[in-house]
Structure 1
Amino acid sequence: MSEITTPQIRRWRADLLDAGVGEPTVAKAYQVLRAIMNTAVDDGVIQRNPCRIKGAGAAKTAERPFLEVAEVFQLAEAVPVRFRVFILLAAFTGLRFGELAALQRRDVDLERRTVSVRRALAETRKDGLLIKAPKSAAGVRTVAFPASLKAELASHLDKHAESSRTGLVFTGARGGQLRRNNFRRIWLRAVEEAGLGDVHFHDLRHTGNTLAATGGATTRELMQRMGHSSVRAALIYQHLVNGRDHAIAAHVDEQIKKVRPTEPSGEGPEEASGT
């Protein structure tokens, strides 16, 4: 290990990039090598870590787009009606796919206009569909939703959600758990119909984060609303209640009203078979 030099590592990295290996993959490989060399320094095997290439461990990724409010409604109108509110909540609360798919009736408070995230749906090749706790304590949170969604969410609960208190809010067209792969087909059709190009479902979350930021949310409020872990662990367990979180939702509500001047009826295209 003592024979490995910084120029050698620089050539190794350059050769990988020249060979067409993706920059994120090269950056991760460099991070692993740097960690190995740091351990070697700690153990006294080498005196200095040769991984000294500035910025080599950081991959540049293209910034994902965020949607205009009108575009969100275009998508919501392009999916089967049972998934309409799924799209709207994703965009206007910033909840992740797995968090929405795991929502139960008891997690929705129409009077307070909040949804509580207590669990998430995950899918692995080994175990299939699993309902488990969010990845971090910050992921357990309560998020306010815009008043404009209240009527549509109430209608959805009446028509499409499972009936018990612990029943799922969102299910597939056949009543089963919502699978990401099956929903992807519906999503791609909706994106094509709306003419939005390369838009991912996760971009709805980015949209919600952007709307909240433009509403004046502080960094701490954004981290709590979006379920991000904070470097200050004490802030993880602080949830916004009846204050700025509702102000953020109210700002989003004003953006909705600009393109939806009257209260939506909750009607949408005919349901499609699939999930």
Structure 2
Amino acid sequence: MSKNKKTSKRRFGRVRQLPSGRWQARYSGPDGVDRPAPETFATKTDADIWLTKKEAEILNDDWIDPDAGKILLSKYGRDWIDERPNLRPRTVELYGYLFRNHLVPTFGERAIAEIKDPQVRRWRKTLLDAGVSAVTVAKAYRLLKAIMTTAVDDLLIKRNPCRIKGAGQEKSPERPILSVAQVFRLADVVEGRYRALILMATFAGLRWGELAGLQRQDIDMETGVVRVRRQLITVTGQGLVYTDPKSEAGKRMVAMPGLILDDIRDHLKDFTLEADDALVFIGPDNGPLRNVNFNRRVWSKALADAELPKIHFHDLRHTGNTLAANAGASTRDLMKRMGHSSSRAALIYQHSTDERQREIADKLDDLARRAQEKPSGTQRARKKNQP
């Protein structure tokens, strides 16, 4: 044995001193493969301590093959998306976009095991500093966290490096709300074939895809109820695709206010083909509606003609849900009407508007004034005892 090297025998693993003077630790894993520690140690005691901890991992069934985490995120992440069961086409499209544009450029060529907490923190800050919206960064962070959570479950890594408190929460800006008068002003100036589309998006609270996929047989004019069974959306690379609503709760019956029933009846008569399965809303060529074409050709012009600010079509649904909440709809009512299985989204519409706050204040003022005008029991007693 060379005098420059020292070895030490022990019950588990081996340590030896290298020519550099540092100490190396080696051990045989549960798979029978002999492995060195990922680093050398300044003292023999440090090497012994490392081996003691490694032996405890094996005995407690906490040992993870250090070679397992060498798979690149670019491959593991793509497989993760492909292997998710029952993902909606739009969700697959969103995950693919976030993965390609925001995860791969930083982490794509890194091994799963090499992604650590400080790198995740720097990556998130870099995206925000580059002007990527806070909502998109939150979505990208949630995707990375989900992928790394599965890596932990797959025993590729011990610990998820995505540990930034609140980083996955979306803080979207307050959506604009139209008044009833503004909604009807918009409906008055838009092309006739889209008037009912505007009114149903608002007062029935239907999403674009749900409206685009609506069929004649889904509307019961006698009861004023619309049945939501599916939606028609555009998926990159696939074109228009019929899918189920966003969740099981999305399959629902929505009662419409009588105010818009005549408009819907006129629309069915003037613009919808006679077959039961005919699409309710179609373009001038009798083809299905496409969101991009509608926004470019119809929506922008209608907003300008109605002298309204630039808002999204989805803000009509937000307006309708807010009106429903102000009309007294409970959280459960809103969940059913909106097609949500969680109360989180419904609670958004339970916030008080300035107008509602003024109405409450006025009612409190009236109540207090009437209470002051009516003598209390003590005041009546004092008045009775006065000479």
Global fold match (TM > 0.5): yes
Listed as ranges, the matches of 1:191-206 within 5 Å are 191-206=303-318
Residues 41 and 191 of structure 1: is their aligned pair in 2 closer, same or farther, counting only changes over 3 Å? same
* 1:65 and 2:194 matched: no
Residue 188 of structure 1 is matched in structure 2 by: 300
Q: Secondary structure at the match of 1:91?
A: helix
TM-score under structure 2 normalisation? Answer: 0.55
| CA-based RMSD | 2.2
- State the AA in 1 paired with 2:273: E
Structure 1 residues 6, 78: closer, same or farther in 2, change over 3 A? same
Deviates more, 1:204-213 or 1:14-23: 14-23
Cα distance in 1 between the residues matched to 2:240 and 2:160: 43
Aligned counterpart in structure 2 of residue 148 of structure 1, from 259, 262, 274? 259
Q: How far 1:37 moved relative to its partner?
A: 4.0
Code of the aligned partner of 1:203:
D
Residues of 1 paired with 2:285 and 2:116: CA distance? 60
Deviates more, 1:10-19 or 1:205-214: 10-19
Encode CA deviations 1:219-251: one digit per residue, 9 max, x unaligned: 1211111111248xxxxxxxxxxxxxxxxxxxx
Q: CA deviation at 1:86?
A: 0.9
Which moved further from structure 2: 66-75 or 156-165?
156-165
The 10-residue stretch of structure 1 (167-176 or 63-72) with the greater mean CA deviation from structure 2: 167-176
Q: Kindly tell me: are residues 228 and 82 of structure 1, through their superposed partners in 2, closer, same or farther at Cα, counting changes over 3 Å?
A: same
User: Map of 1:42-53 to 2, 5 A cutoff?
Assistant: 42=153, 46-53=157-164
Does the residue aligned with 2:227 lie in a helix, a strand or coil? Answer: strand
Indicate the SS of the match to 1:177: coil
Aligned partner of 1:228 among 323, 340, 350? 340
Could you list the runs of 5+ residues in structure 2 that have no partner in the other structure?
Answer: 1-111, 344-387
Runs of 4+ with deviation above 3 angstroms = 1-9, 19-22, 35-50
For residues 160-205 of structure 1, give each alpha carbon's deviation from its aligned partner in whole angstroms, at most 9, with x where no partner exists: 1111222222111232222222211201100111121121100011
Are the aligned partners of 2:231 and 2:245 in contact in 1 as well (CA < 8 Å)? yes
Q: SS of the counterpart of 1:126? A: coil
Look at both structures and tell me which one has the larger radius of gyration over its CA atoms: 2
How far has the Cα of 1:51 moved from its partner?
2.8
Once residues 73 and 208 of structure 1 are traced to their aligned partners in structure 2, the CA distance between those partners, rounded to angstroms, is 12
Unmatched 5+ stretches in structure 1: 232-275
- Tell me the equivalent position of 2:204: 93
Q: What does residue 238 of structure 1 align with?
A: none
C-alpha distance 53-147 of structure 1, shift in aligned 2 (>3 A): same
Query: CA, structure 1 residues 125+70, in 2 after alignment: closer, same or farther (shift >3 Å)?
Result: same
- Rounded to whole Å, the distance in 1 between the matches of 2:219 and 2:196 is 13
- Name 2:246's counterpart in structure 1: 135
Matched, 1:121 2:232: yes
> Which one of the candidate residues 189, 195, 207 is aligned to 2:319?
207
The residue number in structure 2 matching 1:254 is: none
Overall identity of the aligned pairs, in %: 56
Q: Is the 8 A contact 2:300 2:310 kept in 1?
A: no
**How many residue pairs are counted as aligned between the two chains?**
231
Alpha-carbon offset, residue 132 of structure 1: 3.2
Output one character per residue of 1:44-86: Cα deviation in whole Å (capped at 9) or x when no partner: 5555434322112223221211111111011101111111111
Preserved CA contact (<8 Å) 2:226 2:253 = yes
